[in-house]
């Protein structure tokens, strides 16, 4: 199960206070100040790790507080620094402010590390404030507090190709044929309730990733159906593969509804390569196939493909075309 959303609290450690102490040495009538500095608090660091595929861990642990810095000590000894906390998240995770929904960091590359909250600075001990006119300062600085935030972690899957279509358009069947993914397949709408990733093995040991997104319905961009929750997963894809059931009465209408939902959801969708694929061609006669492929579709000027995932007719040519788009 892919958990792609989590709310957590993070806090950098507070800086430790400086010390107020004085030397007590034999044969020294008046020892000078010897208070050490407080240690810095630990920082919060996010790390992108492609060994992780879900935000499930954050469902059970919601608070990540870094240790505070240690207090300054006598004999000019500084306090211990608080340990940093490294929070590992899947590649593709976006960190947002819970209050403003502003994107704070985007962890789109494996191994990327981001200092998110820096630990508070430790206070200076009284040894730092001695002067010729004040040789016995009896004060020190408190440590600075570490910053605290409530944030949202949002996972956007990284895939080369995103499958888009109405429920029962044949997306799950297609991804099960061209990859090793095994999504649930049934003859009723909304069979797919969470995204599925499939790796397509291409020629000469090449490969690319396809994401099967739950079916979109009209109004998905404002929260209807399941689309709004999962449309974010295709924001990062290079190619949008728009699957339309070849047996529907008005395929052009279906395409333009889907296109409108994509554009209303995000401006990023307009610049992506789009490929229309008519599925379930095994249910059509040769005359119907020819008529469908020759039909000009409004708002689309790319290649149109007609496939049957069940018989695998047309899938090889489609995969070749997708690879060329990805490479380009």
Domain 161-327: give its CATH code. Answer: 3.40.50.300
Distance, CA of 156 to CA of 95 (rounded, Å): 11
pLDDT value at 191 more than 60? no
Residue 224 pLDDT class (50, 70, 90 cuts):
very low
Segment 190-208 shows an average pLDDT of 76
Average pLDDT, the chain: 86
Q: Would you list the domain boundaries of the chain?
A: 5-155, 161-327
β-sheet bridge partners, residue 313: 308
Nearest to 156 by CA among 64, 222, 111, 89: 89
Model-wide pTM > 0.75: no
Segment 105-121 shows an average pLDDT of 95
User: Hey, what are 82's tokens?
Assistant: 């608080």
pLDDT value at 231 more than 50? yes
Residue 182 pLDDT class (50, 70, 90 cuts):
low
Please give the pLDDT value at position 9.
98
Q: Which of 21-25, 160-164, 187-191, 282-286 has the lowest mean pLDDT?
A: 187-191
Please give the pLDDT value at position 205.
84
- The superfamily in CATH containing domain 5-155 is GTP1/OBG domain (2.70.210.12)
Please give the pLDDT value at position 12.
98
Residue-by-residue DSSP string for 67-117:
PPPPPP-STTPPPPPPPPEEEEEETTEEEEETTT--EEEEE-STT-EEEEE
């Amino acid at each position: 199960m892919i958990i792609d959303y989590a709310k957590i609290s993070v806090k950098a450690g507070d800086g430790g206070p400086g010390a107020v102490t004085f030397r007590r040495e034999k044969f020294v009538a008046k020892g000078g100040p010897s208070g050490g500095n407080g240690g810095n608090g630990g920082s919060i660091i996010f790390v992108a790790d492609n060994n992780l595929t879900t935000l499930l861990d954050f469902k059970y642990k919601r608070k990540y507080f870094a240790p505070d810095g240690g207090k300054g000590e006598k004999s000019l000894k500084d306090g211990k620094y608080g340990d940093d906390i490294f929070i590992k998240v899947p590649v593709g995770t976006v960190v947002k402010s819970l209050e403003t929904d502003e994107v704070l960091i985007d962890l789109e590359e494996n191994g990327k590390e981001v200092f998110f909250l820096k630990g508070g600075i430790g206070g200076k001990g009284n040894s730092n404030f001695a002067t010729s006119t004040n040789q016995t300062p009896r004060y020190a600085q408190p440590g600075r507090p570490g910053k605290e935030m409530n944030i949202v972690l949002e996972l956007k899957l990284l895939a080369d190709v995103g499958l888009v279509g109405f429920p029962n358009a044949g997306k799950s069947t297609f991804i099960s044929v061209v990859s090793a993914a095994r999504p649930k397949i049934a003859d009723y709408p909304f069979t797919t309730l969470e995204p599925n990733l499939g790796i397509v093995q291409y020629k000469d040991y090449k490969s690319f990733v396809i994401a099967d997104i739950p079916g979109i319905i009209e109004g998905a961009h404002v929260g209807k159906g399941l689309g709004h929750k999962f449309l974010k997963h295709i924001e990062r894809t290079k190619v949008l593969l728009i699957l339309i059931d070849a047996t529907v009465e008005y395929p052009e209408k279906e395409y333009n509804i889907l296109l409108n939902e994509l554009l209303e959801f995000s401006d990023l969708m307009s610049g992506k390569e789009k490929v229309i694929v008519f599925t379930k061609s095994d249910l059509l006669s040769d005359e119907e196939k020819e008529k469908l492929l020759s039909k000009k579709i409004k708002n689309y000027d790319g290649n149109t493909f007609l496939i049957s995932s069940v018989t695998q007719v047309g899938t090889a040519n489609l995969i070749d075309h997708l690879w060329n788009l990805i490479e380009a």
